[in-house]
Structure 1
Amino acid sequence: MAKFHPDYMITMKDFVKEHSVLLRKQTQDVAIPVPLEDRHTLLSMLQYLKNSQDPNLIKKYKLRPGSGLSANQIGVDKRMFAAVLFKDHNQKHEMMFINPKVMSHSLNMIYLPEGEGCLSVNRPVHGFVPRYERIKVKAYNIAGQEFIMSLKGYESIVVQHEIDHLNGIMFYDRMNKDNPFQLPQNVIIESLY
């Protein structure tokens, strides 16, 4: 039986740490139709994110809250990720992306004023991470159906963060090496908040 199945609960012990080789390489495409094992893994990833928003489960299992989770962060070399985002009035939006590709992006950029974090990075990293304000992504859903989605603002940031993971890029690679709080000079860039 595969490690990640419907009864398995992902906890912090399952996370690959930031210096792992797996986080620095391009992940492998998922077969379409999506194999059962990959669907189970993706559902377990989504469940972790939902659990990580529950104060009781956070305390009981010592979970770190997360908005997105890529397969390689739990040691699975597959091009897929899950995300749980809170939009207007705390409405939850759950997403799963398989073999995602950014089709287009805005010229304008945004950044989170508090910086970005990562479930695989167990230390504070201070600085601004420039991201495209809007992106259009093509991917497959868990049923193996292709879709195209336009994202903006916080959702765009989370999806770019996770696609970077699938490409072996860590969020701090996008920060200015000399001054982590310096933003690109040649583009229009604003704080998200």
Structure 2
Amino acid sequence: MSKFNQSYVITMSDIVREGAEILREKTKELTLPPTEEDKEELLCMLQYLKNSQEPSLAKKHKLRPGVGISANQIGLNKRMFAAFIKGQNGNNFEHMLINPKIISHSTSMIYLPDSEGCLSIDRPVIGFVPRYQRITVKAFDINGKEVRIKLKDYEAIVFQHEIDHLNGILFPDHINSTNPFQLPENMDIKPL
């Protein structure tokens, strides 16, 4: 039985760090409908993200801010992740997804000028991480209902980052190792 449930608060000590084998494994798909344990774990992951973006709670629990977290980042070999992005006027962007898959993407690409960050990577990483500007993701929600989500710009970057986690890929893998600020040639790439 998982220790992660709605009454459990994920802390930074629960986050699996770079170098752990589970971060390099392709996670296992969940059978549907999701179990109560799966649901509790997803809710706990989403709550971590909400807490980490609330300054008083982040300080109290010593949390690094995050906008996405995958199950393998808390040691679970399960193909699921949560995302939470505070929006303007209280329009928050939140998802808890099971067995996500990118089913289409744009040819245009974008990148964050200051690189990406990751709860599992404690060292500074510089360089451009090219991502598709628009994607469509097929997944299942916390109740096991199939969903298709169209995303663009920052939200698309977050989802690609988390889906990479579920495939054993970390964002530094996308950075050119000899020239971190070199972008792929012959591509329509712009900063976000």
State the Cα distance separating 1:51 from its structure 2 match: 0.1
Residue-by-residue CA offset, 1:142-181 (whole Å, 9 max, x unaligned): 0000010100000000000000000000000011111111
Q: Where do 1:97-108 residues align within 5 Å?
A: 97-108=97-108
State the Cα distance separating 1:86 from its structure 2 match: 2.9
Q: Where do 1:29-178 residues align within 5 Å?
A: 29-89=29-89, 91-178=91-178
RMSD: 0.9
Q: For 1:10, what is the secondary structure of its paired residue? A: coil
Q: What is residue 188 of structure 1 aligned with on the other side?
A: 188
Q: For 1:122, what is the secondary structure of its paired residue? A: coil
Q: State how far apart, in whole Å, the 1-side matches of 2:130 and 2:87 are.
A: 21
State the Cα distance separating 1:93 from its structure 2 match: 1.2
State the Cα distance separating 1:183 from its structure 2 match: 0.7
Specify the code of the residue in structure 2 equivalent to 1:147: V
Specify the code of the residue in structure 2 equivalent to 1:162: E
Closer/same/farther in 2, CA of residues 89 and 114 from structure 1, 3 Å limit: farther
| Number of equivalent positions | 192
Residue-by-residue CA offset, 1:2-42 (whole Å, 9 max, x unaligned): 20111000000001111011000100001100011111000
State the Cα distance separating 1:185 from its structure 2 match: 1.0
Q: For 2:82, what is the secondary structure of its paired residue? A: strand
Q: State how far apart, in whole Å, the 1-side matches of 2:86 and 2:56 are.
A: 19
Specify the code of the residue in structure 2 equivalent to 1:120: S
State the Cα distance separating 1:87 from its structure 2 match: 3.5
Q: For 1:97, what is the secondary structure of its paired residue? A: strand
Residue-by-residue CA offset, 1:76-99 (whole Å, 9 max, x unaligned): 000000000134446211111100
Q: State how far apart, in whole Å, the 1-side matches of 2:155 and 2:176 are.
A: 23
- TM superposition score normalised by structure 1: 0.97
Uncovered stretches (5+) of structure 2, i.e. residues with no partner? none
Q: For 1:22, what is the secondary structure of its paired residue? A: helix
